[in-house]
Amino acid sequence: MPPPLPPVAAFDVDGTLSRRDTLLPFLQRLCGAQRLGRALAAKGMALSRMAMGRADRDAVKDALLVRLLAGRDAEEVAAAGQAYADFLVDRGRLRHDTRHRLDEHRTAGHRVVLVSASPDVYLGPLGRRLGVDAVLASGLEVGADGRLTGRLAGRNCRGPEKVTRLDAWLGTASADGAYLYAYGDSDGDRELLARADVGVLVRPRHPLPLLSLPGGEG
């Protein structure tokens, strides 16, 4: 018999691994507070409708990114993403308990994955800083001229798309056999938490439950 597959721990980022949203602070650092403020004001009605569940989140996100990122040099944005990832780690922008839990999984020999709707331009570097096995996130489309189009490259990694991406990364055999932990804090993580053997809803100011290892150990 082949050896058992190592468990997998999948972490959402915004509000789960990080203390709060990461996208808007990144856009502010990249574009400036005034430009971000004008873009949010221009999309204010759509953002309000999204908050109340009456707008397509993907469409609203696309519109905001097009307004702010279209025409930006991809290498410049990548450098900003690396600097922002360092800022998140070095300036205490990650939740201490969730970061500790991520390290617990790594120490136990589990495969660790970040699964997030936020852009991979900074989640990729963040994942490397944290030593995870993979980062499954929303990509930013780059045109033939090396500049961002402002559109997402593929689907927004939210809701059911998180499970689709994770299962694709795991592969068919692994998806059927790997023991899965998942951590998330919002409706966008509902399907991911339901897919897991152990789904942990992360809440503000609430400690995580103790890590329970497969087979009842820990």
**How is 79-101 classified by DSSP, letter by letter?**
HHHHHHHHHHHHTT-B-HHHHHH
Within a 10 A sphere around the Cβ of 70, how many other Cβ atoms?
14
- Write down the pTM of the prediction: 0.91
Gap between the Cα atoms of 173 and 189, Å rounded:
23
| Structural domain boundaries enclosing 94 | 8-216
Spatial strand order in the sheet of 180-184: 148-153, 134-142, 111-119, 8-11, 180-184, 198-201
Among the residue ranges 1-5, 101-105, 123-127, 172-176, the one predicted with the least confidence is 172-176
Within a 10 A sphere around the Cβ of 200, how many other Cβ atoms?
21
Rounded mean pLDDT of 56-82?
Answer: 90
In a domain, 55, yes or no: yes
In a domain, 192, yes or no: yes
Within a 10 A sphere around the Cβ of 39, how many other Cβ atoms?
18
- Dihedral in degrees, nearest 10, Cα atoms 109, 114, 115, 120: -150
Using one digit for the tens of pLDDT, what is the confidence trace for 143-175? 999 999 999 999 999 999 999 999 999 985 455
Structure tokens at 203: 């809440």
Rounded mean pLDDT of 129-135?
Answer: 98
Gap between the Cα atoms of 8 and 142, Å rounded:
31
In a domain, 3, yes or no: no
Contact 150, 69 (CB under 8 A): yes
DSSP state of 18: B
pLDDT value, residue 159: 95
Output the average pLDDT for the chain.
89
CATH (domain of 180):
3.40.50.1000
pLDDT value, residue 36: 87
pLDDT value, residue 216: 57
By C-alpha distance, which of 177, 91, 169 is closest to 129? 91
In a domain, 2, yes or no: no
Q: Which amino acid is at 140?
A: L
Kindly state the percentage of the chain with pLDDT values over 90.
76
By C-alpha distance, which of 5, 11, 19 is closest to 181? 11
Using one digit for the tens of pLDDT, what is the confidence trace for 8-21? 999 999 999 999 99
In a domain, 85, yes or no: yes
In a domain, 83, yes or no: yes
Instruction: Give the count of domains, the chain.
Output: 1
Gap between the Cα atoms of 92 and 123, Å rounded:
16
In a domain, 1, yes or no: no
Indicate the pLDDT class of residue 215, thresholds 50, 70 and 90.
low
